[in-house]
Amino acid sequence: GVCPLGPVPHTTDQLYQQAMEDAAWHHMPHPSDSERIRQYLPRNPCPTPPYHHQMPPPHSDTVEFYQRLSTETLFFIFYYLEGTKAQYLAAKALKKQSWRFHTKYMMWFQRHEEPKTITDEFEQGTYIYFDYEKWGQRKKEGFTFEYRYLEDRDLQ
């Protein structure tokens, strides 16, 4: 750099400011300091080699991208990234693939076949659901899905 007007000695105040900034530099804010707590996947920055992807692919924050992910990935995002835009997009993609969320069991269900019975209050038949404790898909025959437990908010 150039200093066309020549250097001017710093005042005592400025020297003090610089010393305080130097001290602050040793404990800079961490990215997570200004984010909501991430219970399961906390940020853990570390040096990665330059030949690795440093950035996710472009447009990976659209519902179209999420629809290209496997259902297991979507379930993982749903349960492990709570309260984020990612969770919202995952829920949206799952809904588009005819999965329905059960608010009492907190699990996602998909019809395996046309329900045997459909009333105003419930439907009954065979369903595939995702068990987050066993971490896998299960089949349940003769299951009654009560509509009052159906999460039916329109995700805009």
- 25 vs 51, which CB is nearer to another protein? 25
Six token digits for residue 18: 């610089």
Strands (E), 60-135: 100-102, 107-111, 117-118, 122-131
Cα–Cα distance for residue pair 130/38, rounded to 1 Å = 23
Three-state SS at 58: coil
The site for another protein (CB under 8 A) is made up of 1-8, 10-11, 13-14, 16-25, 27-30, 32-34, 36-37, 42, 44
- 80 vs 122, which CB is nearer to another protein? 80
Smallest gap from Cβ 23 to another protein, in A, equals 4
Is there a contact between 107 and 130 (Cβ–Cβ < 8 Å)?
A: yes
Smallest gap from Cβ 40 to another protein, in A, equals 12
Smallest gap from Cβ 62 to another protein, in A, equals 18
- 20 vs 118, which CB is nearer to another protein? 20
